[in-house]
A = this chain, B = another copy of it.
């Protein structure tokens, strides 16, 4: 059990939330998302992102269309579906609650210690 491992665990689920948010802002493809995430200092590797996109696509949360590129292979541009939008709303609530619960516990800790 090391810190690095726990850090990885902490990101579970949250990444999905962030990706859906990014897609909700307009059509983007994988590299766009990676840029966004990196800018927010949330480092993600391809091997994580692509399977995640496949998952949420198979779940009907997003859909994509192929768009040809001038510099390389064609790209998948993603956008949210109706189901995805609802799902994102649910995730927002979950995230807010989680943050609140955690703050409550850790705040109490700071006060007493």
**Which residues on A are within 8 Å of B, measured CB to CB?**
1, 3, 6-14, 16-18, 21-22, 24-26, 36-37, 40-42, 55-56, 58-59, 61, 87, 90-92, 94-95, 97-102, 104-106, 108-109, 112-113
Question: Across the interface, do B55 and A21 meet the contact criterion of CB distance under 8 Å?
Answer: no
A21 in complex: contacting residue of B56, B58, B109, CB < 8 Å: B109
A3 in complex: contacting residue of B26, B36, B90, CB < 8 Å: B90
A39 → chain B closest CB, angstroms: 8
A16 to B41, CA, bound (A): 23
Query: Taking A9-B12, A10-B12, A56-B1 as contacts, is the C-beta distance between A22 and B105 under 8 angstroms?
Result: yes
